[in-house]
Amino acid sequence: MRHLTSLNEIRSADVREILNLSSELKTRWSQGDRPDILKGHVLTQIFEKPSLRTRLSFEAAMDHLGGSSIFLGRKDAGLEGREAQSDVAKVIGGYSDVIVLRTFSQQLIDDFAKYSGKPVVNGLSDDSHPCQALTDAFTIGEALGRIDGVKLAYIGDGNNVAVSLAEVCGHLGMAFSIGAPEGYQLKPAFLKSLKKKFPKLEVEQFADPQAAVRGADVVYTDVWASMGQEEEKDSRSKIFANYQVNARLMKSAGPKAKFMHCLPARRGLEVTDEVVDGPRSIVFPQAENRMHVAKGVFVWCLERSV
């Protein structure tokens, strides 16, 4: 059974297959063709964290493919101790063909993959954000006409998004650099496992954001305080003040560098309006592509052909 619990758990060939499926389905969608290859299939989404793009992209993707979707919050799904999580997973699996979870705990996603009996997709956890990173790679390929050899520079907290971006770079032959303050960079244990899985991956960490973006094809950022870190918002705003992506930083990357953000953006904090709305921003095509990549993920998980 195929799960997408993290990018560390699948092969590079799987990543490329998902991207190829997504590309074919997007091309057909742009031509007005929405093949109902998942007709009669049911998607169940279980969210502990709110979302705009994640929920809508997965629901729209399943609808376009002829299926239907059900949405459950944490309380609705019985994840507050009403019954054993393994029992919840088995019950939901009995009603579903594929399950998406957006959670705090990676362990919850792994448990659903173990007990539900159905393909499980990580819609986000505190540890990783694989569908976002797949979408980012897909968008880079569209915008630049290539993926292999691209340098992706990430500026900000070494969070779940940064982790999955580093992994997708390893899968696809991109170079990865991160500019973050000391104490907020990628953890040594993660870097060790990353290099073990992807020995050819070029990955660099810098405390200086200018150094991190030098020579980059893409400059990427995310919020400085993620969901669950609200109490740290003010302190992080001070710590990351020099890591704002603005016109000056984009200039250091070079005149052709594109800008990406997984959204929602805190305009005026991690990025300026001038950059988000500027001619080098591909933020909104990136957001739309969440839907197209979701289709590729579903078709890959369920082992269907297009």
CB contact at 8 A, 129 and 139? no
Chain position carrying tokens 């729209």: 60
Helix pair 283-301, 130-144: axis angle to 10 deg: 120
Burial class for 148, CB neighbours closer than 10 Å (0-12, 13-18, 19+): exposed
In the Cβ-directed half-sphere of 135, how many Cα atoms lie within 13 Å?
28
Encoded tokens for 185:
């960079």
Report helix, strand or coil for 42: strand
Nearest alpha carbon to residue 227 among 84, 99, 123: 123
Encoded tokens for 92:
């939901």
Catalytic residues: 102, 129, 132, 222, 262, 290
